[in-house]
Amino acid sequence: MTTNKTVLAWIDEMKALVNPDNVVFIDGSEEQTEKLRAEAVAIGELEKLNEELLPDCYLHRTKVNDVARVEGRTFICAKTKENAGPTNNWMDPKEAYKMLYDIAKDSYKGRTMYVIPFSMGPIGSPLAKIGVELTDSIYVVLNMVIMTRVSNEVWTALGDSNDWVRGLHCRCDIDEEKRYICQFPEDNTIISVNSGYGGNVLLGKKCFALRIASYQGWKEGWMAEHMLILGIENPQGEVKYVAAAFPSACGKTNLAMMIPPKYLRDKGYKVWTVGDDIAWMRIGEDGRLWAINPENGFFGVAPGTNEKSNFNALASTKKGTIFTNVAHNLDNNTVWWEGLDKNPPENAIEWKGNPWNGKTSEEKGAHPNSRFTAPAVNCPCISSEFESQSGVPISAIIFGGRRAKTAPLVYQSKDWENGVFVGSAMASETTAAAAGAVGVVRRDPMAMLPFCGYHMGDYFRHWLEMGKKLGDKAPKIFNVNWFRLDDEGHFIWPGFGDNMRVLNWIIDRCEGKVDAVETPIGFVPKAEDIDLTDLDFDIETLKSILEVDKDTWVKEAAEIEEHYKKFGDRLPEELKNQLNNLKANLK
């Protein structure tokens, strides 16, 4: 427990509002967690899975109307609309508090209030931050225990400081008309009502570690980014770290946990995962940019995850994991999802809770956004630096998206400022997997569109300022595109583990070991510098996906100009100049 006056006063205030039957302080101990698991099973929140095949694993089903993040109902409640910026929904904080408190009032009646103290990042690390989440959901407690560091040591680390984030979650009736996910960056506060789905209710993740933290980073001079972090070990045993941002559905978790091709493994190359979703980065005493993964687990999309696509993610789910909205295989009391294997169960329950025969049914067994919540320690390639208090030094930042034609396989920005321009114009094309038209370009600057907690023009300026502070110690910035299509619509580059060949070029560039070709958009590899050993891929095809087509880029520049208009006066002059330079280079 804690004696922190600011914490106790807030808990009292919230308790008076939501009116629980009792209050339980969560300490993260195995003993308490086990009791809660048993209680969750008793009340039907969780189903216990086969202890031999999936030890300590559980299945949960959300309500059918509550299966994903709800961007349309997510608000940045800054004092002024202008400060939330053109890419966020905004609500006046006074009105938001009133509306949310009306919804939350007495909503814990007959329920328990769980108080979860959690650290984002290793407890006590100078890069970590503390939060307290109040919830009436055991499912949320058990997920938070996996996804964050929950323990009484968090109270000790906090002491009597007021630097902590307040998170109130109320399940209420899971009424989608009254569902709101509100961030109050100026108050370090998050309120989430009428949802039980992960991204909306595990308040440490998107709400705190991105929306609130991006604002904190702006004010305090650091960065909270939607980035994976991985370490690349060379045969000499040296490890270089990169951070990479991709919009959803671009294979971030796969890249974070990739296995290099056999030829490179035999040479001694290894990949180590530090994080798969979020990076907090600060300038260290040595002037370099250091990063931690503030999370403690993986909240990954299940469908498509299999031994081939992501062996390490699948291995991470084999114990201590909570599965949400996947199919329940009744024959052996395990789980199944589309893309796990080619042998769907016949005797199963689909994600909505109905009997399901995977061999004959037209319906999906798992929801396309079904998830696993797996402890990071389970990951076979988890980095030895995962718990490091100082984080890892970042050599390169990689942006990327899904582009059928425009972007080459990889290019390096000319410098930091040009790299910020590349990130600010980042885009991905919609696939058939998502609702709506295929091939529509969605601009998603730094993959932060749904997660930036303040005006995106100010966010770009913050990036530029970080670059000035880092000077020649700044990570080099790259852009990758694994998704170039041929005329028949097939992917040209094999992707997955073979992306290691591109990462090696990136590291060689950072170390000044390899030359490149200057193009209007940046530096592109010479085809012969991408190692194709043991790969059935000819150099002419490689050249075709390294090419920068001027006409396509003239069109792209026009689209970037359009995209930039929405930032108005807050678009930094430097980025306007970057766009003008690009246009001039293309002439």
Cite the active site residues: 250
Q: Which range touches Mn ion (CB under 5 A), out of 80-88, 276-284, 288-296, 538-546?
A: 276-284
Cβ pair 454, 214 in contact under 8 A: yes
Q: Closest CB to ligand OXD belongs to which residue?
A: 248
Q: Which does 295 bind (CB under 5 to 8 A by kind): ligand OXD, Mn ion, none?
A: none
Question: What residues have CB less than 8 Å from 252, skipping those under 6 apart?
Answer: 228, 244, 246, 276, 277
552 binds, among Mn ion, ligand OXD, none (CB under 5 to 8 A by kind): none
Sort residue 575 into left (φ over 0), alpha (ψ -120 to 50) or beta: alpha
Number of C-alpha atoms within 13 angstroms, CB side, residue 423? Answer: 32
The DSSP line for 270-305 is EEEEEESS-EEEEE-TTSSEEEE---SEEEEE-TT-
Residue 176 CA to residue 39 CA, distance in Å, equals 27
93 interacts with, out of Mn ion, ligand OXD, none, CB within 5 to 8 A per kind? none
Of the two residues 276 and 498, which places its CB atom closer to ligand OXD in the complex?
A: 276
Minimum distance from residue 224 beta carbon to Mn ion (Å): 12
* Single-letter amino acid code for the residue at 51: E
476-480 and 392-400 beta bridge pairing: parallel
Question: Which of the 8 DSSP states describes residue 390?
Answer: S
Residues 523-582 that bind ligand OXD (CB under 6 A): none
Stretch that binds Mn ion, among 14-22, 164-172, 277-285, 522-530 (CB under 5 A): 277-285
CB 392 within 8 A of CB 241: yes
The CA radius of gyration of the chain, in Å to the nearest whole number, is 24
Measure CA 270 to chain center.
23
Single out the residue of 96, 297, 330 nearest to residue 204, CA to CA.
297
Contact set for ligand OXD, span 90-129 (CB under 6 A) = none
Per-position x/- string for 238-257, each x denoting binding to ligand OXD as judged by CB under 6 A, each - no binding: ----------x---------
Given 66, 136, 277, 531, the residue binding Mn ion (CB under 5 A) = 277
Q: Which stretch binds Mn ion (CB under 5 A): 66-74, 160-168, 273-281, 325-333?
A: 273-281
Which residues are paired to 399 by β-bridges? 245, 479
Considering only residues 485 through 504, tell me which ones interact with ligand OXD, judged by CB under 6 A.
none
Part in contact with Mn ion (CB under 5 A); list of ranges 59-67, 269-277, 344-352, 487-495: 269-277
- Residues in 472-511 at the binding interface with Mn ion, rule: CB under 5 A: none
Q: Tell me which residue has its CB nearest to Mn ion.
A: 277
The footprint of Mn ion on residues 418-437 (CB under 5 A) is none
Q: Are 207 and 181 in contact (CB under 8 A)?
A: yes
Show Cβ contacts of residue 260 under 8 Å, excluding neighbours closer than 6 positions: 269, 270, 271, 497, 500
Instruction: Look up residue 408 and give its two tokens.
Output: 């080459």
289-299 b/e (C-beta count within 10 Å ≥ 16 → b) = bbbbbbbbbbb
Instruction: Give least dist CB 199 to ligand OXD, A.
Output: 5
Q: Which is nearer to ligand OXD, 310 or 395 (CB)?
A: 310
Binders in 148-167 for ligand OXD, by CB under 6 A: none
Q: How many binding residues for Mn ion (CB under 5 A)?
A: 1
> Least CB distance from residue 342 to ligand OXD, whole Å?
26
Partners of residue 283 on adjacent β-strands: 289
Smallest distance from ligand OXD to CB 149, Å: 19
- Number of helices followed by number of strands (H, E) in the chain: 17, 31
| CB closer to ligand OXD out of 226 and 414 | 226
Return the number of the residue (277 or 385) whose C-beta is nearest Mn ion. 277
Q: Which is nearer to Mn ion, 66 or 277 (CB)?
A: 277
Nearer to ligand OXD by Cβ, of 199 and 294: the residue is: 199
Angle (CA) 259 379 200, round 5°: 110
Amino acid code (one letter) for 496: F
Q: How far is the CB of 247 from ligand OXD (least distance, A)?
A: 8
CA 139 to chain centroid: 20
Nearer to ligand OXD, 54 or 227 (CB): 227
Nearest distance from C-beta of residue 225 to ligand OXD, angstroms: 12
Shortest distance (Å) from residue 572 CB to ligand OXD: 26
Please say which residue, 197 or 567, places its beta carbon nearer to ligand OXD.
197
Choice between 68 and 330, CB closer to ligand OXD: 68
DSSP string, 87-108: TSEE--HHHHHHHHHHHHTTTT
Take residue 339 and report the two structure tokens written for it: 């893309």
What does 199 interact with, of ligand OXD, Mn ion, none (CB < 5 to 8 A by kind)? Answer: ligand OXD
- 12 token code pair: 């009292």
CA angle in degrees (0–180, nearest 5) for 417-477-515: 110
Name, in order, each residue with C-beta under 8 angstroms of 179's C-beta and a sequence gap of 6 or more: 66, 70, 73, 193, 194, 195, 200
Kindly identify the residues of this chain, within the stretch 327-346, that bind Mn ion according to CB under 5 A.
none
Amino acid at 301: V
Q: How far is the CB of 321 from ligand OXD (least distance, A)?
A: 16
Q: Which residue has the tokens 């190359």?
A: 269
**CA–CA distance, 330 with 47 (Å, rounded to integer):** 12
Query: Minimum distance between the CB of residue 89 and ligand OXD, rounded to whole angstroms?
Result: 17
Binding-site partner at residue 365 among Mn ion, ligand OXD, none, CB < 5 to 8 Å by type: none
- Per DSSP bridges, beta strands 371-375 and 322-324 are antiparallel
Residue 277 touches ligand OXD, criterion: CB under 6 A = yes
Minimum distance from residue 153 beta carbon to Mn ion (Å): 27
**CA gap 122, 57 in Å, rounded:** 24
Task: Between 213 and 546, name the residue whose CB sits nearer to ligand OXD.
Answer: 213
Residues β-bridged to residue 428: 442
Q: Which residues bind ligand OXD (CB under 6 A)?
A: 199, 248, 277
Q: Which residues bind Mn ion (CB under 5 A)?
A: 277
